[in-house]
Structure 1
Amino acid sequence: MSIMRCAGIVSYNPDIERLRTNLHATVQQVREVFVYENGSRNAQAVQRLCEDEFTNVRVIADTQNRGIAFALNRLLAAAHDCGYPHILMLDQDSVPTEGMCDELERHLSGDVAIVSPFILDRNRMTMAQYQEMRLPAIERLKHAARSGAITSGTLNNVSAALAVGGFDDELFIDYVDFDFNERLLLNGYSIVKDNRACLIHEKGKSRHTPFKIPRRRSDGKIVWAPLFTLGYGPMRCYYQARNRVVYWRKYHRWTKLEGLVELPPLIVLSMFEPHRLAKLKAYCRGIRDGVRMPVKEYRK
């Protein structure tokens, strides 16, 4: 086992069995796991799980939900304070496959600040389908938000993360990862994706729709890809819209209107889900607040 890495998990109202599966898969791949308990309703159950079943899991308890970005920054600080140069970031319901961390760590040197695995969404793909795919073994990601690295499953260089200011607390949730990626790229760091390492993940509660839309892959090729619903509640719809607009304003790309390109499909998707009117209103509020929100343009 490498002594050079720890893991950080943000916990917020988790399914305890899924969190248990996550932890059992993770503790064997790192020296220590930090669980940031973000004011869950079942916080005591999370604490009992970590204390009763594991010797290398430490809970950092909070009494309220301060957002994913705030929690990720506390995990970065814990890794730094304990002398870990590398931290594996995980969502509470993500499960790293065997050997994932060893594979990722092979590439975390030089200017590489993040190494991401292939993300296998359990609601969209099976393991057999993943194994049949013909993917490049290694990709060097050029874009932060288009085919960028989501936070879950990434092995991060702690010093690089802190050098660019960590995660933006004001974003709370959604686009937190892409904003972080952008600052790393702008400061000369690299982001690598290793498709031989695999994380089992769940993005909302996805399901197929009858539609396909053009999407640009990380290799630049545009393909027709299935459109999935996300299954998010109105609050997540609000932050998706608001933070997408804020992101493009923040990084000098507002005039390209790229920040709004995928909002119509997201709004259409909400029409296939329950509470569609509430979600539509949330998207509209998010766009409005994203335009109004004070944003400090980023410069290196």
Structure 2
Amino acid sequence: MRCAGIVTYNPDLERLRANLNNTASQVDAVFVFDNGSENVADIRSLADSEYTTLRVEADPNNRGIAFALNRLLDAAKEHGFKHMLLLDQDSVPTEGMCDELERHLTGSVALVCPFILDRNRMTEEEWQAQKMPPLERLTHAAKHGAITSGSLVDVAAALEVGGFDDNLFIDYVDFDFNERLILNGYEIVKDNTVYLLHEKGKSERTWLKVPRNTSAGVQWQPLYKLGYSPMRCYYQSRNRIVYWKKYHRHTGGEGLTEIPLLMALSLLFENHRIAKLRAYSRGIHDGMKMKIVEYRK
């Protein structure tokens, strides 16, 4: 048996409905954890009127995505589900995605993710035209790794490694979790034959291109500005430093090298540049000051 877990925070109800319509038919139950939304009454009304297998739990405060994901894992365990599909509120799983992912969730495989098709970066035709291996085994948690949304996880394995780190709040929550899976001997698989319709921030293409290692070799690819708020910029830098401090013996400089690039993109292409640069700087400062225990199995 499998279920889905969705974290909501002031969702657009039509986008959430599209998510639920595509999700509910692929799982036995859907759990929603709401993080202090102003429209939580509308979310409950939507659930009560349209979905018989949907359960909503709400917190009056925004406790962060990591906290919410842990409550969803607890709900899956409590109701006896072996596997849980984790989703953002505006991500839409394609037809048959869960069946395809679950085929690979056996043995030491604890997490299977689909290809992530960002609405703002790629069309379905472009995805189909890509030359990718149908299946990839990921050995790096943060380098082209599996994001939370769209991941089908083994609930017992997720809880065994400690679930998600509440202290991270948002950003790098998924890669931190993935790293602990890998360090505890579990495998992460990416299935490129199915995709999740997703949206990373409010991505917009810039004129800058950088070389990237892809399954088809090194390719020059455009950089995208993300349009994140200053608060998100703060966690982007802080949590990358926290991740590095926890796992640097295993991951080298993963995460750290992105911080200057993120700051440069904000400086060159985004609005509220000063506020965002200050947020990044504050995140660097706080990340360096935080007392982090290096992770050991």
Bin the TM-score by the shorter chain: over 0.9
Q: Paired residue for 2:104?
A: 107
Give the CA deviation at 1:215.
Answer: 2.5
1:149 corresponds to which of 128, 146, 149:
146
Unaligned runs of 5+ in 1: none
1:248 pairs with one of 240, 244, 250: 244
For residues 41-52 of structure 1, the aligned pairs below 5 Å read 41-52=38-49
Q: Say if 2:287 is the partner of 1:294.
A: no
- Match for 2:258 among 259, 262, 265? 262
The answer for the alignment partner of 2:231 in structure 1 is 235
Query: Please, what TM-score do these two structures have when normalized by structure 1?
Result: 0.96
Does the 8 A contact of 1:248 with 1:254 survive in 2?
no
> What CA deviation, in whole Å up to 9, does each residue of 1:251-292 have, x standing for no partner?
134995444211111011112111111001101111111111
Q: CA deviation at 1:23?
A: 0.2
What CA distance in whole angstroms lies between the structure 2 residues aligned with 1:79 and 1:256? 34
Residues 1:133 and 1:257: Cα distance change in structure 2 (over 3 Å)? closer
Cα distance in 2 for residues equivalent to 1:146 and 1:269: 19
Deviations 1:223-244 (A, max 9, x none): 3221000010000000000000
Deviations for 1:4-24, whole angstroms, at most 9, x for unmatched residues?
100000000111110000000
Task: Tell me whether 1:223 sits opposite 2:219 in the alignment.
Answer: yes
1:254 and 1:77 map into 2 onto residues whose CA distance is 29
- Deviation string, structure 1 residues 178-211 (Cα, Å, up to 9, x no partner): 0000000000000000001110000000011000
Aligned partner of 1:35 in structure 2 is 32
Secondary structure of the 2:279 match is helix
Unaligned runs of 5+ residues in structure 2 are none
Q: Is the 8 A contact 1:146 1:216 kept in 2?
A: no
State the Cα RMSD in Å: 1.4
8 Å CA contact 1:245–1:259 kept in 2: the answer is yes
Counterpart AA for 2:248? H
Identical amino acids, percent of aligned pairs: 66
Which runs of 4 or more aligned residues in structure 1 lie more than 6 Å from their structure 2 counterparts after TM superposition? Answer: none
Question: Quick check: 1:83 aligned with 2:80?
Answer: yes
SS at match of 1:251: helix
Compute the TM-score of the two structures, normalised by the length of structure 2. 0.97
When residues 224 and 31 of structure 1 are mapped into structure 2, their CA distance, relative to the original with a 3 A threshold, is same
**Which of residues 126, 148, 162 in structure 2 aligns to 1:165?**
162
Distance between the aligned counterparts of 1:166 and 1:125, measured in 2? 31
Instruction: In structure 1, give the amino acid aligned to 2:185.
Output: G
1:193 corresponds in structure 2 to 190
Q: CA deviation digits over 1:49-70, x for unaligned, max 9?
A: 1111111111011111000000
Distance of 2:255 and 2:129 partners within structure 1: 33
